[in-house]
Structure 1
């Protein structure tokens, strides 16, 4: 029996392409318009996607480097993710609602309570994408002159996740008896006080939200570092992986899953979903035409700003010249910088070619062609042990998801690779990942 794939839709900025707002079919201020998000979420839900996904940063993480680039970028105003998911929850029925929240500039109790509440509102469809914040711009919004160092951020994140999952276990599923005759509201034996005291946090508990309809909200993680992989292996239900090379993806897949037995977990308890940008047409030529149109929308200054954080200012170099080595001492984006440089070296790309390729889908895999071409590639990655599914990262919305649903989803179903109906009501049921036992069980 063929393995069915899991599908998510990432919908930040209404498209991952740097020039998406300039596309003639796109509403340029759509990232602040609720109806735009509702439209794409409904499209994904009608196609039986597992979840929608909102990346986030808690600040405008771009400087005007090189000069003039900031005013040309669409990465500025947007809707706060948890507020947006709360609005989407009652207008959807089955699709999972996953959003990013930082462990660097939040407190565990806040995160546990907010996601626990969205999980109640949605009937068990919430998920938290765990990230650490890396930019000085975010630090400046939270009483810091610079962001925390790499080691501290991840050390804090590891303890943060442990506290949040502990708070989600504050109440057993059958804690609340609501016995009007006896006057007993909850069973005292089924309420648990966390009493956490650690290096970064002291949190008593219990959480003032009852236990999740799905046991606990889904945990999503994207870290490639050693500690990031350890957090994923111990706690996560889904990993959102940015991989472009099959062999690299296979190694990462194996690395994360092999760590799970150290925490008493089975490899199938965690799904690895690779970011995928599909530019699809009825013919390969039509897909190529769409690609060329999108490439023409990237302003050179915006392209250079994308590379600035990894390489420094390249505006004095010829755009059609070679890509230099990444600048040293910039731990916040060290993995991205190395990835970009290696891609440029492997493919012989110039600076202009590199920012066009990255600007198409950031760090995610891109496939250009017919539905058959896209699904061939998706199948190859799943069969090779590189992915359990894909988080679709469209170039521009709603058109990118509309094309995917019109062309790719039917081909996946024709090959027996994707569902025709949801298996359950909660996100955990539809993903097919187990409910973690309460630490008090």
Structure 2
């Protein structure tokens, strides 16, 4: 029997504001501005489902980027992610007009409680027929901490230690119910089999939770787990938990190495690497001709402003750049305290400086500009060529971040998707009803928690 040709996954990277992680996108002449209405998100959802995308998922932060200058005025005036709607609510507006598109939302393990997250996402999964994913984050900065009544966030590795316990609780609650626990036998008056519904009774260093969860299993077992950790500790976390890894590749060569490393780490964690998708973030600008695509690229590139980069860097690094001379190097102690380790390490590597300055962070991070990660520009054939080269050697698919909305998604769907389908690299129809069906990931079995040993049995 001939083995089916491997096909790529396509995920739309969105925000509950102007749906793009390129901040300047809202300034694009073609970008729609009704992002506080359900119609805005539903139009995008229909476009993505018509193009047979695997999923759309929402990034999130729990505070405005207000660390630069200890003030939110620049953020609000320049539209630097000043609006952040709750992603799970937006997700359900998109679910209402689709039947196959997967839908993911970011929720923090630092500022929410595991029982709440377990119940919320299990409910979302039931209400969408098994199409939901949870993007697991540990949160980054002191502004988020202050919004939840704390003075500062946990240290980097401690956030992941806590997140490990958080995932043990959430997945433990998702396994509270066996698939056949519900009986609904009206004649016998029996609602469910109590022997197939279990308490968790989890006791950890950081967290406790009793259970059982009040939500039965969904059509796909439980929501798909996304994770984007790029630091050493973050990748160890992803290797243990993620079913789809949202990666960041500075180049194809670096991507090949990271892809091989992550697949090996997943296998070393006792998991099947074939059951974990790795998808790097890319921006794509496609047009009818190469010259039109280049014109669109130059226009989009011109939309970025210096405040975009400065505000976003301060947000993720937890450092106020406004108080530092532009050329002054950071000390070893200051660099150790930076929140986002992988971005810090990227700037150090690209600048060649052990102690980079504010200028180095702005120039080499690419934060807030089109230089933050790869951008594929060209005709449908040219873009598909680039995607195919990456897919064949460095990834299982792509996380597509639009440069203007909804035009980027619509241009890609109209031009590039048919070319990928012609090459046999992307589906022409959905193969099932759940997100796991679409991703080609197995439905998880029910695992029980050994309360005496505090481990999965």
Partner residue of 2:343? Answer: 336
Indicate how the Cα distance of structure 1 residues 188 and 199 shifts in structure 2: closer, same or farther if over 3 A, else same.
Answer: same
Partner residue of 2:452? Answer: none
**1:78 CA displacement:** 2.7
Indicate how the Cα distance of structure 1 residues 232 and 352 shifts in structure 2: closer, same or farther if over 3 A, else same.
Answer: closer
Partner residue of 2:48? Answer: 44
Indicate how the Cα distance of structure 1 residues 207 and 228 shifts in structure 2: closer, same or farther if over 3 A, else same.
Answer: same
Partner residue of 2:94? Answer: 88
**1:46 CA displacement:** 0.6
Question: For each residue in 1:105-153, what CA deviation from the matched residue of structure 2 results, as whole angstroms up to 9, or x when unmatched?
Answer: 0111000000000001000001000000111110001110111111211
Partner residue of 2:299? Answer: 293
Match of 2:151, SS state, is coil
Indicate how the Cα distance of structure 1 residues 241 and 356 shifts in structure 2: closer, same or farther if over 3 A, else same.
Answer: closer
Structure 1, unaligned runs of 5 or more: none
User: Which of 354, 358, 361 is the equivalent residue of 2:363?
Assistant: 354
What pairs up with 1:97-116 in 2 under 5 angstroms? 97-116=103-122
Indicate how the Cα distance of structure 1 residues 378 and 343 shifts in structure 2: closer, same or farther if over 3 A, else same.
Answer: farther
Indicate how the Cα distance of structure 1 residues 248 and 62 shifts in structure 2: closer, same or farther if over 3 A, else same.
Answer: farther
CA contact (8 A) 1:96 1:426 kept: yes
Partner residue of 1:54? Answer: 58
Q: TM-score, normalised by structure 2?
A: 0.88
**1:192 CA displacement:** 1.3
Task: State yes or no: 1:302 paired with 2:317.
Answer: no
Partner residue of 2:22? Answer: 17
Partner residue of 2:454? Answer: none
Indicate how the Cα distance of structure 1 residues 294 and 325 shifts in structure 2: closer, same or farther if over 3 A, else same.
Answer: farther
Provide the rounded CA distance (Å) in 1 between the counterparts of 2:240 and 2:349: 30
Indicate how the Cα distance of structure 1 residues 275 and 147 shifts in structure 2: closer, same or farther if over 3 A, else same.
Answer: same
Partner residue of 2:431? Answer: 423
Count of equivalent residues: 433
Structure 2, unaligned runs of 5 or more: 354-358, 449-456
What pairs up with 1:152-301 in 2 under 5 angstroms? 152-301=158-307
Provide the rounded CA distance (Å) in 2 between the counterparts of 1:401 and 1:191: 43
Range 366-375 or range 390-399, more displaced? 366-375
Task: State yes or no: 1:79 paired with 2:98.
Answer: no
What pairs up with 1:291-440 in 2 under 5 angstroms? 291-308=297-314, 313=321, 328-343=335-350, 354=363, 357-361=366-370, 363-384=372-393, 386-440=394-448
CA contact (8 A) 1:219 1:235 kept: yes
Indicate how the Cα distance of structure 1 residues 236 and 146 shifts in structure 2: closer, same or farther if over 3 A, else same.
Answer: same
Indicate how the Cα distance of structure 1 residues 406 and 356 shifts in structure 2: closer, same or farther if over 3 A, else same.
Answer: farther
**1:355 CA displacement:** 7.9
CA contact (8 A) 2:56 2:103 kept: yes
**1:437 CA displacement:** 1.7
Indicate how the Cα distance of structure 1 residues 18 and 323 shifts in structure 2: closer, same or farther if over 3 A, else same.
Answer: farther
Provide the rounded CA distance (Å) in 1 between the counterparts of 2:233 and 2:430: 34
Provide the rounded CA distance (Å) in 2 between the counterparts of 1:186 and 1:233: 36
Partner residue of 2:11? Answer: 8
Range 77-86 or range 45-54, more displaced? 77-86
CA contact (8 A) 1:135 1:332 kept: yes
